[in-house]
Structure 1
Amino acid sequence: MTSPLWQPGPQQQHCRLARFQQQARELSGQPLADYQALHTWSVQQPDAFWRQVWDFCGVVGEPGDTVMEGAEQFRDTRWFPNGRLNYAENLLRRQDDHPALVSVLEDGTRTQISYAQLRVAAGQVAAQLKAAGIQPGDRVAGFMPNRIETVIAALGAAWIGAVWSSCSPDFGVSAVLDRFGQIEPRVLVACDGYHYNGKWIDLQTRIDALHQALKPDLLVVVPGQGDSSRVEKALIWQTWLDNATPAPAFARLPFNHPLFILYSSGTTGQPKCIVHGAGGTLLQQTKELQLHGDVGDQDTLFYFTTCGWMMWNWLICGLHTGATLVLYDGNPAYPNTARLFDLVDAEGISHFGTSAKFVQAVEKSGLQPRHSHDLNTLRTLFSTGSPLLHESYDFLYQQVKPDLLVSSISGGTDIISCFALGNPLLPVYRGELQCLGLGMDVAVFDDNGEPLVDSKGELVCRQPFPSCPVSFWNDPDGSRFHKAYFARFDRPGQKQVWAHGDYAQLVPHEHHQGLIIHGRSDAVLNPGGVRIGTAEIYRQVETLDDIREAIVVGQEFEGDVRVVLFVVPADGVTLTDALQTRIRQAIRQGASPRHVPAVIASVPEIPRTVSGKIVELAVREVIHGRPVTNRNALANPQALEHFSNRSELQS
C-alpha cells in the first residue's frame, strides 16, 4: 500500500462531516466508528440517512412523514412523496449583506452582489415571469455566460416553479436548437456577446437566429458590449427588472417537481434532455458540498465552468451553504495559466474547482503556483471532467500546496451530482477518488453482474438515490430512460441496477473504499479480448512534454481490435520515429505491453463536445468509415476530417 499524500489533521475533526457522523451515532444508536460504517449505514437505512441530511443541512420546506416509497425498483421510487419545497427559497435563505456572488470577467470587470441584493433581483425576475404568464413547469432557457445575471434568471425561474435550462454562448445555433428546440422554452434569456481569449465575441446574429427559430414569447437580453437594444424585439435586462411588481410568494411544489433540464453530449444522436427534480438536486448537492466538501457560510467557493456543464448547476447550489461564490467567464488560461491562481489570491478562495485537463495544462506550462502565489486561503481543490492523473496529484502537492485536500470527484450530468468524491476525514491516495458518496450504493460489476473488489469493471449503483432523473423529455413510455441506465444489467426478477457507463475499480482500505476511474466503459479497448481503460494510456502519454494531448480508440482489424493512438504534438514538435518509440516505451513501462498502441499518428487537433470533452466514439466511427450522426454536438466538427482515410490504418 502506498503512503497517503495528505492526512486529515486536528482541525478536520470538527468539520461538518464529523458533526454529522456524531449526530448519526446518537440517532441510530450504532457506533459508526469509521467512514465505511457510516457509508454502510447510509445505504442500508436510507430513510433515516436522507431525513438526517434534510435536517442537518438546513433544507427549507415540509419533508412530510415519509422519506421514500416504492423502493423495490429505481423507477418506482418516490422520495419525500408528501414533501414540498422551493429550490430558490433554499438558495436564498441567507438574507444579509454577506457577498453571495462575485463575477469576474476575462477583461477584468468585477461585480459583486450580496445575499440581500440577490434575493431582491431574483424576486424581480420571478414577478416579471409570472406577469408574462409563465406557469410552473414552463421552460425558461438561458443562452448565457457564467455571470451574475444567469444565476438571477435561474433563481427567478425556480422561484415560481418554472424549469431552467441553459447552454453556453460558445454553442453554435444548430447545437442550441438541438437542445432548446426539444423543450420549447417560453422565455429565452440571452446575452449579446462575451469575452474569450482577449476578443469580444458578438452574438447578435446567433440570437436573431434563435429568436426566429424558437419564437419565444419573451426575449430578455443582458447588456453586454454596446447597446443591447440593437437585438430585434429584445427587452433590456435592467429595465425589465426595474419595472417589476413586488415578488410573489415562493411556489412550494412537490419534491420531484422539475427544476433543471440538462443534456447529454449528443455525439451519437440528438441530445437526450435529462429532467432533474428540485428536491433531489438540492438534497444531493448540498450533502456533497456541506459534508464531503466541508463548505460553510464563511467560505468562498469557485468552480471554473460554463453554463453548458452540470458543474454550473452544482456550483450555484453552494448558495445553500451561505458561502460566497466566485463566477469566472473567459479563457481560464488567458493571458497565461496563472490567471485562476491570481483569482484565488484576489478573492480569498477556499474551495477551488477545475478540470483534470486544466491541471495538466498548468503543469506543462511550467508554472509553480506554490512559489508564484500566496494561496493561504486555499484548503480544497476539486477536480472532475476526466480522471485526474496520478502525476497530477504529485504536481498539486509538490508545486501548488502541500497541505491541500485534493478532492477528485466523479458523477455526471445524468445524476447532476457525484458517485465518488472527497472526504475531509480520510487520507488522499495518489490516483484515487477518496470515497464513495454517502447514500450512494456504488459497486463495480463484472459482465455477469457480479460485484468486484480491486478489479476493473462496470460502475453501478444498486439502490435508488434522490437525484436520479425525473425523466427524459419526450420519452412518454420511459423506454429511452430504461435503455440509458438499466438495460445493461437487466435481469428478469431482479432489482434494477443503475449502470453509469464508467470503467472503474474499487480500492479497499482499512476504514473506507477508494475508487479509480479508468475511462468510459463504451470507449474501453478490447485487444485480444482483454479490456483496457483509455485513462490508463492517457496517463502515460500526457506526461510527455512533447505531446499536448491525445485520443485513443480501438480499430477493428483482422478479426481483432488493435489500439490506435492519435497525438497532437506540442508546438514545434514533429512525430518522428524516435518520439513514437518514446511513447511506446512510456506506455509499456507505465501500463503494460497490452496497452502499447499498434498505430501512432499525428493530428493537428482533437474533436471535442461543446462542453470540452474529447469524443472517442465519434473518432472510432470515422476511422471505420461509419457516419457520425450529430456533428452539431461538437465544438470543432471539422477536426473529424483529420481521422478519415488515414493510410496508417490500412495495414
Structure 2
Amino acid sequence: MSAVAEGRLLRAAPPDARRTSELGRYLDWLHDRRGLDFADAGELWRWSVTDLSGFWGSVWDFFDVRTHSPYRAVLEDDRMPGARWFPGATLNYAEHAVGRPRDARQVAILAYSQTRDPIELTFGDLAEQVGRARAGLRRLGVGRGDRVVAYLPNIPETVVAMLATASLGAIWAGCAPEFGVRSVVDRFAQLRPTVLLAVAAYRYGDREVDRRDDVAAIRAALPTLRHVVDVPYGNGSLPGTIGWAELLGTAEPLVFEPVPFDHPLYVLFSSGTTGRPKAIVHGHGGILVEHLKNLSLSWDLRPGDRLLWFTTTAWMLWNVLVSGLLVGAGTVLIDGNPLYPDLEEQWRLAAQTRATLVGASPGYLMACRKHGIEPARRFDLSALRQLGVAGSPLPLEGFVWVTERLGPDVLLNVGSGGTDLCTGIVAGSPMQPVWAGEMTGNLLGVDARAFDAAGNTIVGELGELVITRPMPSMPVGFWNDPGDALYRAAYFERYPGVWCHGDWIRYTERGSCVITGRSDATLNRGGVRLGTAEFYRVVEEFAEVVDSLVVHLEDPDGGPGELLLFIVADDGVTVGDALRDRLVRALRTNLSPRHVPDAIHAVTSIPRSRTGKKLEVPVKRILLGMAPDAVASRGALLDPASLDQFTGWSLRGSAAP
C-alpha cells in the first residue's frame, strides 16, 4: 500500500496555466465577448451548470459551430428525458472534422498496426478520401437515415468511412473484428443496415486471425444488406464484395447534408454482458458541442497536437479519438495487441509520434508500475502535456507512480464517463490541481452528484452517481424503443427526472471525487459499503497476484452473505494457505474485518469485456445459478470461455468441483 494518503496534493495548477491553456483562452474570450469573469475553475463550473443556456451558447460561439440554419433557442425544454437543445439548427458533425479551413499539409492521422506498415494522412488527404468514400456510398444508394455498419479495426479506412457516412446524414455503427458472430449480429441486426464494411483478416501481435467465415456468417444473418465492402487488410479477401479501391474510385466535391441537431450520428452499444446490447443513439449536434468542449477545455487539445489512446472500434473512446479532428489535432490510431512486443510499446509510440496527450487504462499503468517500467527515462516524452486515464478506477498507488515517473510538467487527468453519454462526467483540466487517489471533479456543464437511496445529495459518503441537469450528449434515445420506455427505465427510473449513471461515487468537500466501481457490484456487509476498486487495490498489490475479482452474494434474510475472492496467480505461484492467510491479513488491516472473504479461489482468467472492465455482475449471476450464455454475450469478452469456470460452484466456501 502507498505511504501517500488519499487527498494529498500531488500537483498544483501551474501559475501560467491560464495563459498557456485552451481553458484560459476560453476564460479570456468570456471576459472579452460576454463580460463574464470567474475567479477560478470552481466558479466557472458553477456558472456552467446554473446557466445552461449561457454556458452552452458560449461553447457554440467560442468554437464557431457552423450551421446551415440558425437555432431558435439554446435550450427550449430542460426536462430529463426530453431536453430540446438548439432547436431549428441544422449542421453536420463531419463538416467540422474535415470541412473546416485547415492547413491541408498538417497531419490528421498517424496509423500504426501489426498488420501493415504505418500510414500517415494529412487533413488534405483525409478530406479527399472522405469525399471519395461519400461518392461511393452514394452510388450504393446510401442516403439520409440509412445505416452503414462496420466490422473494422482501428485503421484510417474506418475513420474515412464513418465521416463519409455522417456527411450523408446516414447513421454509423461499428464493431471490432475481435467480436464473435453472435455479438456482432446482436448489435447490427437491430439497425437493419444496408451496407457492411469488413476485413478478411488481421494480425494480433504475431498471430494471424482469419475472419472470412465470420464475415460470411454475419452477412447471412443480416438480410437487409444490399452491399458489402471489402477493406484490404491482412491476408485474403471477401468474395462477392465491392473493393475499397472501387468504392473510392470517383472524386467528387465534398459536401455535407445539413441535419437537425438531434439527427442520429452513430449508434453505440452497451457491453452486452447482461443480455442483448442496448443500442444507444447519439446525435450530430450533441456529440459535436460536447466533444469540442471536452477535448479542448479539459484535454487541452489544439491544432497541431497529437492524441494517442489505445482503443478498439467497439469502445466509445474510438469515437472520441475521431473527434480530435474537430479541434485540429492529429489522431494516432493503434491496431493490434497493445502489449506487443512488450509493455513499453505504447510509450515507444508516444515518443515516436510526439504525442501531446496519451491515454492509458489503469490496468496498463499498474502493470507498468509492477514491472518497473521507467517511461520518461527510456523514451523522449518531452511533447507530452497530459496523461489521460479512464476505463476503471485508478488505485492511489497509480496516481503516485505516474506523478513520480512523468514529473510535474505532465498533468495526470483521471476521468470517468461512459458509452451512454459518449464523454466524461468527472475529470480535471490544466487549471486545476491533482489530489492523490481522487478525480479532480465535475466537468464543465455536468451537474453530477452523489445521491443516497432517498435522492438526497450527500458529500463524504458513497452514493449513486447522478446528473441533475441535462447535457447535450445525453442520447437521442435507444434504437427501436417506442415511447422511450427502455431509455427511461435505463437511466430515469430510480430517481425520476434525474440521470442515474450506475456508478458508486464519493465526493469530497472540495468537489473532488472517488469512483469505487459499479453500484450494482458494490460490496455491502454488515451495513458497511465498499467499492470493488478498493478491494482490488489491496489484493493486486501482491506480487503473486496478476488479476482478481470479488463477488458478494447477499443473504436474503439479512445476514452477512458470502464474499468470494477469485485470483489469477502469477506463473509458478501456488495459491495455498500461506498466500490466502497473507491476503486475509491485508484485507482485514486495510479495509475491515467485514471484508475478509469467506473463500479465496484460484482461476485461470478474470472475465473482462473487450474494453477491459471486470464483469462482477455476470459472475455473480452465474454463481446464483444462471447459465453463462444467459448473462453475457461471449463475443463481447476478451476471453469468451472465461465465464465457464464459474459454473457448478458450491456456494458455501468450498472449492470448485
Q: TM-score, normalised by structure 2?
A: 0.94
Which amino acid counterpart does residue 218 of structure 1 have in structure 2? H
Report the Cα offset of residue 30 of structure 1: 4.7
Inter-partner Cα distance in structure 2 for 1:9 and 1:248? 43
CA distance in 1, matches of 2:624, 2:397: 33
Pick the aligned partner of 1:70 from 73, 77, 88: 77
Q: Say whether 1:516 aligns with 2:514.
A: yes
Q: Which residue of 2 aligns with 1:218?
A: 227
Partner of 1:623: 623
Pairing 1:6–2:6 present = no
The verdict on how the C-alpha distance between 1:107 and 1:180 changes in structure 2, with shifts beyond 3 A counting, is closer
Counterparts of residues 67-466 of structure 1 (less than 5 Å): 67-71=74-78, 73-92=79-98, 93=100, 94=102, 96-106=104-114, 109-215=117-223, 216-228=225-237, 231-242=238-249, 244-247=250-253, 249-466=255-472
Q: Does the 8 A contact of 2:115 with 2:233 survive in 1?
A: no
Shift of 1:343: 0.4
Quick one: structure 1 residues 59 and 585, their matched pair in 2 at CA, closer, same or farther if it must change by over 3 Å?
A: farther
Matches of 1:401 and 1:31, distance apart in 2: 32
CA contact (8 A) 1:601 1:648 kept: no
SS at structure 2 position matched to 1:649 = coil
Structure 1 position 519, deviation (Å): 0.5
Q: Is the 8 A contact 2:201 2:235 kept in 1?
A: no
Q: Distance in 2 between matches of 1:84 and 1:625?
A: 51
SS of structure 1 residue aligned to 2:173: strand
Cα distance in 1 for partners of 2:633, 2:554 equals 26
- Residue 364 of structure 2 aligns with an amino acid whose one-letter code is F
Contact 2:137 2:247 in 1 (8 A): no
The AA in structure 2 aligned to 1:498 is W
Question: Aligned partners of 1:502 and 1:245: how far apart in 2?
Answer: 47
1:649: Cα distance to partner?
3.2
**CA, structure 1 residues 126+141, in 2 after alignment: closer, same or farther (shift >3 Å)?**
same
Code of the residue aligned with 2:131 in structure 1: it is: G
Question: Aligned partners of 1:648, 1:574: CA distance in 2, in Å?
Answer: 22
- Counterpart of 1:493 in structure 2 is none
1:650 Cα deviation from its structure 2 partner:
4.7
Distance in 1 (alpha carbons) for counterparts of 2:48 and 2:263: 25
Shift of 1:485: 0.1
Q: Within 5 A, what are the aligned runs for 1:479-490?
A: 479-490=485-496
Q: CA deviation at 1:537?
A: 0.3
Q: Which deviates further from its counterpart, 557-566 or 167-176?
A: 557-566
Q: Deviations over 1:359-387 (max 9, x none)?
A: 11222222221222221111111111101
SS of residue in 1 equivalent to 2:473: coil
- Select which of 544, 552, 555 maps to 2:553: 555
Q: Distance in 1 between matches of 2:533 and 2:341?
A: 29
Residues 10-56 of structure 1, C-alpha deviation per residue, up to 9 Å, x if partnerless? 44222111121233345554542111111110111111100111121
CA contact (8 A) 1:489 1:497 kept: yes
Q: 8 Å contact 2:18–2:24 — kept in the other structure?
A: yes
CA shift for structure 1 position 65: 3.5
Question: Corresponding residue for 2:3?
Answer: none
3-state SS in 1 of match to 2:392: coil
The letter of the residue matching 1:527 is R
Compute the displacement of 1:95 (Å).
5.2
My pick for the range that moved more, 346-355 or 16-25, is 16-25
2:303–2:327 contact (8 Å) kept in structure 1: yes
How many angstroms does 1:327 deviate by? 0.4
Q: How far apart in 2 are the matches of 1:505 and 1:252?
A: 42
Instruction: Tell me the amino acid that sits aligned with residue 643 of structure 1.
Output: F
- Helix, strand or coil at the partner of 2:652: helix
Cα distance, 1:581 vs. partner?
Answer: 1.8
**In structure 2, what is the Cα distance between the partners aligned to 1:96 and 1:649?**
65
Structure 1 residues 533, 97: closer, same or farther in 2, change over 3 A?
same
Q: CA deviation at 1:182?
A: 0.9
Task: Report the number of matched residues.
Answer: 639
Task: Tell me if the contact between 1:631 and 1:637 (Cα under 8 Å) persists in the aligned partners.
Answer: no
* Contact in 2 for aligned 1:391/1:543 (Cα 8 Å): no
Compare 447-456 and 124-133 and name the one that shifted more: 124-133
Q: Secondary structure at the match of 1:488?
A: coil
- TM-score, normalised on structure 1? 0.95
| Residue segments in structure 2 that go unaligned for 5+ positions in a row | 1-5
Measure the CA separation in 1 of the matches of 2:251 and 2:304. Answer: 33
CA distance, structure 2, for counterparts of residue 135 and residue 297 of structure 1 = 32
Are the equivalent residues in 2 in contact too, given 1:551–1:614 (CA < 8 A)?
yes
Q: Give the drift of 1:197.
A: 2.3
Unaligned runs of 5+ in 1: 491-495
TM-superposition CA deviations, 1:486-527 (whole Å, max 9, x none)? 00113xxxxx00000000011222xxx111101000111121
* Aligned CA-pair RMSD: 1.7
SS of 1:262's equivalent?
A: strand
Q: Distance in 2 between matches of 1:306 and 1:529?
A: 39
AA at the equivalent of 1:34: D
